[in-house]
Amino acid sequence: MKRKICVCMAFTVAVLLIVGVAGCGPGEQAETESTENSSETTAEQSETVSAGPKMPPVNVLIIACEGKENSFPLNFFLITVDNNTNEVRFTNFFYETQIDAVTTEGEPVSIPMYKLTELCDMEGIIDAFENMYGIAVDKYLIYRYDNNMIIDIFKHMCPITVDIPEEYIGSGEGTLKKSMERYSDSTGEEITPVDAAGEQELGPLALLSYFHTIPEWVYASEDDLTRKMEDYKYWDAKNEYALSVYKPVFELMGEQALTALGQSIMEGQDTNITDDDIAAWAKRLTELPDGKTPYLTIPGFEDIGLEKFEGDPMGSTMMLTYDKAEAAEKVQAFVNGE
């Protein structure tokens, strides 16, 4: 049975929290001075930043886990805020990506990322990312959620305008209608039908369902690796599209509403993001620059292998293998804006 990977749900939270580290170094409160928007070159953007020594980027690791109890870690994002250029960069790690870590028992292991929260404490998880990819992790959030929590977030943001593909229209599996029926049953939200393709405003239930709708052709291959790569490619495209449709919504919501939403998202979650961080982020969200936000996927889609995790006695746990040194170079260059 295929797992519907709720990447865009975690991505929504990731986007909302990017400014939790805006303008601040590790352990410092973010500056709240406004910075002029610019869609010009990085050199021109850097002129809007206060003069001074070049600052290292600030990185936030977000692990989104489906389910508030006995949760499953589906999504791993590293969000980089470049305080020299005001650029925000997103690194998405597929949840089956192989990573080297040390367990809470002190045992070195090479595991799929989604085993990290089971085998390692938070310090061990951070060490794994820092050692594997050669970057610093300054802030972290383990976000445990259910569909009603995402609906509540969307109620603050909707209506949101999206372009519904023709292939989403119909009544079978892999259609928006079928997704809406499924999530109406699980959340208790009333369905407002979406019967036509094209650009239109969606409410909370329709938006949640849109992000979970995946056409059946994505899973058509009988080869496990091919099927996984098609699935990840489809979600990657949705992530990048989500960035573009969220930007105008943040501008309309304004700082006060965004601050309140950020505080509600953080309540009861495992994080080292502080109240000072949350208080600093709203202005940055309303001033996201035009143009495409830099986005990197690890391990990517080329030269990827699929192997069984030897630590699973049942032999059913799989992980994506790849050139670790090459991936580390890519992450370092991306994080550092090179």
- All domains of the chain in start order, with CATH: 7-147+249-335 (3.30.420.590)
In order of 7, 47, 144, the CA distances from 75 in angstroms are: 6, 35, 11
Q: Answer whether the bond into residue 299 is a cis peptide, omega within 30°.
A: yes
Mean pLDDT comparison of 28-42, 173-187, 305-319, highest-scoring range: 173-187
Q: Between residues 334 and 88, which one has the greater pLDDT? A: 334
Orientation angle between helical segments 7-17 and 147-157, nearest 10 degrees: 50
- Whole-prediction pTM: 0.84
- With beta carbons less than 8 A apart as the criterion, state whether 24 and 31 touch: yes
3 state DSSP class of 88: strand
- By the 8 A CB rule, do 291 and 28 touch? no
Average of pLDDT values for 158-183?
94
The more confident residue out of 39 and 336 is 336
pLDDT tens string 245-269: 887 887 788 888 887 888 888 889 9
Most confident range, picked from 37-51, 75-89, 137-151, 229-243: 137-151
Q: Give phi and psi for 323, each to the nearest 5.
A: -75, 105
Residue 55 has pLDDT above 50, yes or no: yes
Strand pairing category for 108-112 and 98-102: antiparallel
* pLDDT band with cut points at 50, 70 and 90 for residue 68: confident
Cα separation, 195 vs 179, whole angstroms: 13
User: What local confidence, expressed as pLDDT, does residue 293 receive?
Assistant: 82
**pLDDT at 243 > cutoff 80:** no
Exposure string of 55-92, with b = 16+ CB inside 10 Å and e = fewer, is eebbbbbbbbbbeeeebebbbbbbbbbbbbbbbbbbbb
Q: Which of 51-65, 182-196, 265-279 has the highest mean pLDDT?
A: 182-196
Q: What is the mean pLDDT of the chain?
A: 83
> CB of 164 within 8 A of CB of 197?
yes
